[in-house]
Amino acid sequence: MASQLLSVQSYLGQASSNQSKDTKSLFQHPPQYAAFSIVGALLTASLAFGITWLVHWVRGSRNTALKGSRIVIFLVALVVSIVVLYAYMRRQWLQYLRQNAISEITTFVSIAQEFDQVAAGAMTLVQEVELVSRGYRMLVIIDVNASINAD
């Protein structure tokens, strides 16, 4: 590899730029969030129908003793549905956070790799400048076949 001081365009981290493109292509798939799904619509409709039916069922009784037991059943069903909905929403929120964290970590890793490449190129350039400033000669390898073909 020739010195960066001898090249017209000094690009830091040039040797490993293809590697960073390969790692970026692995993480180009952002998490998918569906705003609407058939399962969600069916669950929402069935829950709304169930709560409406329970309210109608509780109000339909004329007997006071029977109405009290129906109210208890309604309250138990309401508490169970609230607990299930809370667990489902918490699960969805944690899944969203997990996908978001993976996306952010992926971005951080790719940026950190690019920074490492640029820092390595900068260190090589600084070392070459130091060697030249101390009077050492840079070894330049010339391709013999290229010079023969040029004649």
Using one digit for the tens of pLDDT, what is the confidence trace for 109-128?
Answer: 999 999 999 999 999 888 88
Q: How many helices (H) and strands (E) does the chain have?
A: 4, 0
pLDDT, residue 129, reads 84
The more confident residue out of 13 and 42 is 42
Using one digit for the tens of pLDDT, what is the confidence trace for 2-41?
Answer: 555 555 454 444 444 454 455 455 455 555 666 778 888 8
- Residues ≥6 apart with Cβ < 8 Å to 57: 70, 74
pTM for the structure as a whole: 0.51
Give the number of residues written for the chain: 151
CA distance 81 to 86: 8
Q: Please report which confidence band the pLDDT of residue 51 belongs to, taking 50, 70 and 90 as the band edges.
A: confident
pLDDT, residue 57, reads 83
CA distance 114 to 18: 11
Q: Tell me the three state secondary structure of residue 142.
A: coil
